Amino acid sequence: MSKHEVVVITGASAGLGRATVREFAKHGAWIGLIARGHDGLEGARREVEAEGGKALVLPTDVADAEQVEKAAARVEAKLGPIDIWINDAMASVFSPIKKMTAEEFKRVTEVTYLGYVNGTLSALKRMLPRDRGTIVHVGSALAYRSIPLQAAYCAAKHAVLGFHASLRTELLHDKSKVRTTMVQMPALNTPQFGWVKSRLPRKAQPVPPIFQPEVAARAIYYAAHHPQRREYYVGHSTVQAIVGNKLAPGLLDQYLARNGYDAQQHDGREDPNRPNNLWEPVPGDHGAHGSFDRRARDYSVEWWLDSRRLLLGLAGMAGAAGAIYAALRGHRLDKIYDILEDWLPRTA
């Protein structure tokens, strides 16, 4: 058995997956790198090796269960028993539903949801007989609160949440020492907004507040080593979206109907003919960051509190929830909208 922690990360070539590779590499992990893009995978491999670690490049489409299984077998043959499996690969389409095709919905679902299922099945095949290991699902506030123009992605993240809950209850029933947890993410500054297929008239953007992918990567690392909790929320906007949706989902529907379109676009016309990665990877090594560095935060006070289980974060949630409840009792819809303006689910 290797003395190094062996980790598999899907979506490892770019964005949050790439930032997560760097985070684990800093801690000496040996990493199986799963994604479709060869250039990004090679870039990730070089970064792991620069930290003194070992990496295995595994060009894989997570939508194909056979490919995922072969990748898992190679990791165990070359690096050793898998300790942690991180499901992160995703695909999306920015588009109104009425302009989507059935094939696009199918593809997003196969990658963003069934890719997690395929990875989990391959991980469980190896972890359950050893009665150890951790599976981390990278989620989103959109697993709870859907927004316009990202229906396929939102639906897939909802499905991941349901799958995770079933998996966790079965592991608990079996008294297994295999663990699973889910990390719900806020808007992140990743390259996806420049390569996701889009029918928007203007360029897509993450809805502020925007966080750097390193914030999320640190949360994934922490969750992977503290998997006793069912799930983690990263960023105050994630907490606000999830709790706000539980309290007043209909009001959020109205708010997002008015503001959700413009909030996901920024200055500059979109090029309808630019390359996208829905069916094939976009060539090149795109790294972890998108084009929003000047607007992105490299810290999250909420995550700092949440990871330490302090009560201050809960107190803030309770205060906002109390304000909405008081407004509802007083039939002050105008006041509710004022609260939501400051407390809106600003997620992407």
Write out the catalytic residue numbers: 153
∠ Cα 236 238 243 (to 5°): 95
Rounded to whole angstroms, how far apart are CA atoms 200 and 202?
Answer: 5
Residue among 284, 277, 288 at smallest CA distance from 198:
277
Question: Can you tell me which residue has the tokens 């953007």?
Answer: 205
Six-digit token string for 186: 């806020």
Q: Find all residues with CB under 8 Å of 1, minimum gap 6, and list them.
A: 80, 81
Residue among 10, 188, 195 at smallest CA distance from 116:
10
Residue among 51, 136, 148, 129 at smallest CA distance from 85:
136
The pairing of strands 202-204 and 265-269 is antiparallel
